[in-house]
Amino acid sequence: MRGNMKSKNISFDKTFDRVVVCILIIFLLIVAYPLYFVIIASISTPSAVVSGQVILLPKGFSLEGYRKIIEYKQIWKGYANTIIYVILQTLLSVSVTMMAGYALSRKKYPGRTAITVYLTIPMYFSGGLIPTYLWMDKMGLVGNPLVIVLLGAVSVYNVFIARSFIASNIPDELYEAASMDGCSHVKFFLSVVLPLSPAILAVLTLFSAVGQWNSWFNAMLYLKDEAQMPLQAVIRQLITSQSALALATDTGALQGEDMVQQALLTESIKYAVIIVSTLPIMCLYPFVQRYFVKGIMIGSVKG
Amino acid sequence: MIRLPADKTGKSDQGKNSGAFPGLKRRFGMEVIKKKIKANWQIYLLLLPVILYTLIFNYIPMVGNVIAFEDYKTFKGIFGSEWVGLKHFLRFFSMKKGMTVLWNTLRISIYQLIAGFPLPVILALMINSCKHMRFKKIVQTVTYAPHFISTVVIVAIINVFFSPSSGIISNLLNTLGVIDGPMNTLTSASAFPHLYVWSGIWQGLGWNSIIYIGALSGVDPALHESAIIDGANKLQRCRYIDFPAILPTIVLLLILNCGQLMSVGFEKVFLMQNSLNLSTSEILSTYVYKQGMQQSQYSFSAAVSLFNSVVNFAMLLIVNTIARVQGENSLF
C-alpha cells in the first residue's frame, strides 16, 4: 500500500517537475525575447525589420544605425556627463550612508532613538515636487548640475540596510575592545568597519550607480543646458523628437526614395540607441547580480 | 523591514547608578548623559552629514508644503503669500478633472496589484521547486535583467514594439489576420492601463521574486524530508510547507503595496503619455507636474500632491493596523 503510494507520488512529481520547467521556460522566453529582438533588429537591414521579416534571426546586416549613433556627439557628451554624475553621487551616497549606518548600529549613546525617528519620517512623508523645486530654486540649484548629484543621493532606506548589516557583522563588543586600546569611533569606522564591509559597500555602490545611470526625471526638471544633460535625457530626446530623423537626414533636403530610406534609418537608430545605452549595465550585471540580491535580502530582514 | 529595534539605550546603567542614591538621581543622571555625549561625540560627527542632508533635502521641502494653504506668489515668498486655507483642496475635489485623475490613479494601481502581485510569488515557488541548479540560475539571471533597464529605454522598447505600422506586434497580427492595417495601441486610451501594467510586470516579475526566493531558502530541508516520508507529493509540499513559509513575507509586501495604492510612479506614465491616451493616462503625479511646472499653479499643485501623500500615509496606517489586529506581520 505504502509502496504503491510512493510510486504514485514519484510519477506525479515527475509530471509536476515537467510542468514547472515548461512554465519557467515560457516565462524565460517572454522576458528574454524582447531584449533579443532589440539586438537582432539593431543589426538587421532596416527595411527587413520594418516589414516584419526579422523575427527569430537577423536578416541582412547593417550597422548603419550604430554608425549614425557613434557620429552623434551629443550621445558621447551624455555618456561623459552620466559617468561624472554617477561617480560623484555614488561617492557622496556611500560615504554618508556608511557613516550613518555605522553610527546607528552602535547602541550606547543618548539620542539614538530620536535620530532614528528623525530619519524614519521622510521615508513615509515626502516634500513633494513643487516645494522641492521651489527650494532648489531658492538655493540656486536649478540649472546647476550639482542638483543631479545631490538630489536623491542619500536614501534613508539604504542607511537602515547599512545599519542592519554592520550591527550583525561588527558587534558593539568589538568596538569596546578597541576603545580600551584608545581607538576612537572615527578611527574604528575607518580602519575596522570599512575593511570588514566590502559586501555592503558593493551593494550601496551598485544601488546608487544604477539608480543614477538610469535616472532621467531630475535632469528633465532641473537642467536647462543641453551640454549638461545625462545619457538618459539625450536618449529620450533622440527617440521622441524628430532628432532621430534629423540625424538620419544629415545630408539636407531629400525627396521620394531617399525620404523612405531615411525613415527606415530612423527606426534602426532607435534600436541601436537602446543597445548603446543599456549595454554597459547588461554586461556588468550578471557579475554583480549577487550583490543586488544581497542588498534586497539585508533590507528584508527586520530590525 | 522597517520596524525599529526596541531601544535600550543605556537604560540598565542608569538604573544601577540611581538606585542607591535617590536624592542624587536627577543630577547624577544628567551628568551621566553629558558624559556619554562627550564620550561619543564622534558618533554624532558621523551622523552629522545624514542629519544635515535630511534637513535640507527632506524636511525643508516638507515644510514648504504650507504653500498648499496659500496663494503662493514667487515674489512674496512662502511667508508673505496670502493664506487661503483649504481653497485649493476644495477646488480639486469640485473639479471633474480631479475625480478623473484620482480614478485613473486608482485603476492603474489596483490593476497592478491584482495582476502583478501573485506572479512573483508563483515564480519564486516554481524556481524553488526546480532542482536543476544551472537552469535555475539562468532563469533568475534572465528574469532579473529587465529591472536594470531605465524607464526611458523601457518606454522606447514599448514604442518600437507597438509602433502602429512597423512594429513587430503590428506585423505579426497583420500576418495572422487578427487585425488589418496599423494598430493604435500606443494612442488608445483603453489600452493604456494594460500596456502600462503588463510592461511593468514584464520588467519587475523576476526582481520582485527575489525576496520570496530568499525566504524560501530559509525553509528547513528536514520538513520536506519528513513530508516525503509521510507520502506528500511535490504539489502538496509546495502548498503546505513552502507557501506557509513565505506567507509572512507575502503579507508584509501586500501591506506595503496597499499603502502605495495612490502613488503610481511618475516617470513611466509621463513617458507613455500622449494627447490621445490622456483620458486614462493622466494620474495624480503627472497632473501635479503639469499644473505646477507647466502652468505654474504652485499652490494648487502642492495641494494635490499633499493630499496624495496624506492619503498614502493614512492607507499605510490602516492596512498596518488591520494586519496587526489579524495577528499577521506588521510594519510597526
Give yes or no: residues B35 and B136 share one domain: no
**Distance separating alpha carbons of residues B140 and B123, to the nearest angstrom:** 10
Residues spanned by the domain of B38: 11-83
Contacts of A102 in chain B (CB under 8 A): 46
B29 and B47, same domain (yes or no): yes
Residues A53 and A70 in one domain: no
Assembly ipTM: 0.87
Both B58 and B105 in one domain: the answer is no
Do B135 and B235 lie in one domain? The reply is yes
Higher-confidence residue of A7 and B279: namely B279
- Span of A37-46, B20-29, B189-198, B201-210 with lowest mean pLDDT: B20-29
- B277 lies in some domain: yes
Asked which of A42, A62, A82 is the last residue of a domain, the reply is A62
Domain holding A6, by residue range, is 1-62
- The per-residue pLDDT for B113 is 93
Q: Distance (Å, rounded) from C-alpha A155 to C-alpha A108?
A: 24
- Could you tell me if B104 lies within 8 Å of chain A, comparing CB atoms? no
Count of positions (residues) in chain A: 303
pLDDT of residue B26: 57
Nearest to A134 among B5, B233, B298 (CB): B298
Q: Which residue of A has its CA nearest to B127?
A: A24
Do A41 and A160 fall into the same domain? no
As a whole-number percent, the residues of chain B with pLDDT over 90 amount to: 51
pLDDT at B11: 41
Q: What is the pLDDT along chain A (303 residues), one digit of tens a residue?
A: 455 666 777 888 889 999 999 999 999 999 999 999 999 988 988 888 888 888 888 888 888 888 888 888 888 999 999 999 999 999 999 999 999 999 999 887 888 999 999 999 988 888 889 999 999 999 999 999 999 999 989 999 899 999 999 998 898 888 888 988 888 999 999 999 999 999 899 989 999 999 999 999 999 999 999 899 999 999 988 887 655 555 665 554 555 667 777 778 888 888 899 998 898 888 888 888 888 888 888 777 643
Co-location of A72 and A201 in the same domain: yes
Q: Distance of alpha carbon B97 from its chain centroid, rounded?
A: 25
A156 and A259 share one domain? yes
A32:B4 CB<8 A: no
Q: Exposure pattern of A148-166 as b/e (b: 16+ CB <10 Å)? A: bbbbbbbbbbbbbbbbbbb
Report yes or no: B288 at the A interface, CB cutoff 8 Å. yes
Q: Where does residue A13 rank: exposed (0-12), middle (13-18), buried (19+ CB within 10 A)?
A: middle
* Mean pLDDT for the stretch of residues B39-66: 93
Q: CA neighbours within 13 Å on the CB side: how many for A96? A: 22
Q: Residues B113, B225: one domain?
A: yes
- Cα–Cα dist B126/B129, whole Å: 5
Q: Do B153 and A278 touch (CB under 8 A)?
A: yes
Residues 6+ apart with CB under 8 A from B215: A300, B245, B246, B248, B249
Q: Do B135 and A24 touch (CB under 8 A)?
A: yes
Indicate the residue among B45, B60, B83 that finishes a domain. B83
Which of 17-36 (B) contact A at CB < 8 A? 33, 36
The total of structural domains in chain B comes to: 2
d(CA B268, CA B257): 18
- Name the residue among A17, A289, A297 with its Cβ closest to that of B144: A289
In whole angstroms, what is the distance from residue A100 CA to residue A118 CA?
A: 13
Interface test with chain B among A75, A130, A137, A147, by most B beta carbons within 10 Å: A130
Compute the distance between CA of residue B45 and CA of residue B38 in angstroms, rounded to an integer: 11
Pairs of residues, one from chain A and one from chain B, whose beta carbons lie less than 8 Å apart: 293
Is the same domain home to B125 and B34? no
Q: How far apart are CA A80 and CA B231, in angstroms?
A: 62
The whole model's pTM is what?
0.86
CB B189 within 8 A of CB B279: yes
Judgement on whether residues A154 and A33 belong to the same structural domain of the protein: no
**Domain check: are A56 and A99 in the same one?**
no
Q: How many Å lie between the alpha carbon of A76 and the closest alpha carbon of chain B?
A: 17
**What's the whole-number average pLDDT of chain B?**
85
Question: How far apart are alpha carbons B101 and B284 in whole angstroms?
Answer: 6
Cell (9 digits) for B144: 532579473
Residue of A nearest to B217 (CA): A297
CATH of the domain at B202: 1.10.3720.10
For cell 525589420, name the residue: A49
Residues of B in contact with A278 (CB under 8 A): 149-150, 153
Decide if A191 touches B, using CB distance below 8 A.
no
- In B, residues 154-183, which contact A (CB 8 Å cutoff)? 156-157, 159-161, 166, 168, 171-172, 174-175
Q: Inter-chain contact A28–B142, Cβ cutoff 8 Å?
A: yes
- pLDDT reported for residue B19: 47
Contact B51 A159 (CB under 8 A): no
Residue identified by cell 529595534 is: B5
* A96 and A136 belong to one structural domain: yes
**pLDDT, tens digit, 9 for 90 and up, residues B101-112:** 999 999 999 999
Residue A125 shares a structural domain with residue A189 = yes
Q: 486608482: which residue's cell?
A: B106
Q: Tell which residue, A215, A217, A222, A216, has the closest CA to residue A136.
A: A222
Whether residue A90 contacts residue A189, with contact meaning beta carbons closer than 8 Å, is answered with no
Span B215-272, pLDDT tens digits:
898 889 999 999 988 888 889 999 999 999 999 889 888 888 887 888 788 899 999 9
pLDDT of residue B1: 41
| Side-chain half-sphere CA neighbours of B297 within 13 A | 15
A279 CB within 8 Å of a chain B CB? no
Which of A62, A77, A101 finishes a domain?
Answer: A62
Cα–Cα dist A167/A107, whole Å: 9
Residue B205 in contact with residue B115, Cβ under 8 Å? no
Q: Which residue of B has its CA nearest to A268?
A: B160
Same domain, yes or no: B165 and B305: yes
Cβ separation of A31 and B145 shorter than 8 Å? yes
Is the Cβ pair B156, A116 closer than 8 Å? no
Long-range contacts of A183-187 (CB under 8 A, 24+ apart): A184/B42, A185/A103, A185/A106, A185/B40, A185/B42, A185/B43, A185/B45, A185/B46, A186/B42, A186/B45, A186/B46
Q: Does residue B200 contact residue B265 with C-beta atoms inside 8 Å?
A: no
Report the interhelical angle of A73-105 vs B41-54 (nearest 10°): 140
B68 touches B303 (CB < 8 A): yes
Domain of residue A301, CATH code = 1.10.3720.10
Q: Which of A36, A62, A88 is the last residue of a domain?
A: A62
Which of B34, B68, B83 corresponds to the end of one domain? B83
CA distance linking residue A41 with residue A267, whole number of Å: 9
Whether residue B195 is found in the same domain as residue B307: yes
